[in-house]
Amino acid sequence: MSARILVVDDLAPNLHLLEVKLAAQYYDVVTAMSGTKALDIAKNEKLDLILLDAMMPGMNGFETCMRLKSDPETWHIPVIMVTALEESKDRIRGLKAGADDFITKPIDDFNLMARVKSLLRLKMVTDQLLSHTGHSIETSRPILDRLDKRHGRILIVDDHIRKLEKLAGPLQETHEVILQSDPKGALEQAGMNMDLVIISLTSEKFDGLRLCARMRSDAKTRDIPILAIGNPEDQAKLVRAYDIGINDTLMRPVERQELLARANTQLKRKFYADSLKEDFNESLEMVVTDPLTGLGNRRYFDRSVAPLFDELAETGTPFSVVVFDVDHFKRVNDILGHDTGDTVLKEIAARLASNMRCIDIVSRYGGEEFVVAMPDATQDAALLAADRVRALIGGTPIHVDGQAFSVCVSAGVAEVYAGDKFRDVFKRADDALYRAKQKGRNRVEGAEIQKAA
């Protein structure tokens, strides 16, 4: 099932134009010609995103957005306001009403789709966190309200000192701000508990896009929100920034209040995601953590991750599973003892957890078998990741009581297909693991690709 987007505009030609553009990208589009109708649809249908015209008769877009964001049932739906108004004060008004982004008429298709994809990614991650923690949309809203006044640590990166100081001004009143003009230093500082990074895309001495890309590829920084600042005439660069994975953009010349509003929006999202992750970790530790390795156990995987496979198999979102198994583990126990065997399992678990992506879910499924759920990963991508980890585990000795020895793993990889249940994809991965064992161990095998009927 594709993402479901509500388009709201009182003019039928505008409504139809956006509907056609989005449908061409295979989104499921719902329409409304008034704010009142939009509120009704949002409360009664499952939506992933709302495109909301700012200027409508009766209840305008600003009022509609404020009501959506104050309702416990609809506050979580991302809203992009569509407006012909180019004044910064109008954007600030919308941001204060709760809008997640703005797009100005006439609408640039590439810019529109980049922002849509960015917010849909955010919605998917939030939904997954809510699902994992057991919070409902209604009960999690108070968490967000409590985070409104939290102070954040913000890193601003620009090669022009005066621009840095000017950007820092409005933010320093409520947040801790660190200034950096060197991209290498910025990457190091970003990994030191930053809550937001603001990067100039107009710097002359370094490539701001490259810095954004490096942040998204580094495990320490890939989850930190990025606010990119660019020139309005350079739309191609801004679209590319969204493709890389930034969270928001701001145009020069920068208006102080708009900067503060956009920064606060990103910080609130970050604090909310952090809060959900903390709740998730605490609940897992009580009932679904393997006491030896600290990973999720089979109970957690079966109850929490397996149903997620069933859901994503229907959406067409890439999702893969990797089954790892320690080669000749019985020999380790028989020759070196069970205490050493436990140490081996703990070390392999640590290497798996630290070398997979932060969105991957690593579990000890039983004995010497580990399972990794890889959202947004095709089988080919999962094969590459699994083989990289296999080589790292086998190529790095394990040290126990002054002795060093190597242990290898084999792995099987399979991708979720439409109509799959978890048992289907797990069996394909397990069969691939069996083939890896038959072919000599210390290798990775992929499941046979299913051909469309």
Rounded CA gap, 59 and 160, in Å?
Answer: 44
Phi-psi region of 374 (alpha: psi -120 to 50; beta: other; left: phi over 0): beta
Q: Which of 47, 127, 90, 103 is nearest to 39 (CA)?
A: 47
Rounded CA gap, 170 and 181, in Å?
Answer: 19
Contacts 24+ apart (CB under 8 A), 381-385: 381/318, 381/320, 382/320, 382/321, 382/322, 382/413, 382/415, 383/413, 383/444, 383/446, 385/322, 385/356, 385/357
For 439, the token pair is: 């072919």
For tokens 């008004």, the residue is 93
Rounded CA gap, 182 and 199, in Å?
Answer: 11
CA atoms within 13 A on the CB side of 148: 6
Rounded CA gap, 120 and 25, in Å?
Answer: 13
Distance between first and last Cα of the chain:
19
Catalytically active residues, by annotation:
368
Identity of the residue numbered 284: L
For tokens 């801004």, the residue is 238
CA atoms within 13 A on the CB side of 363: 24
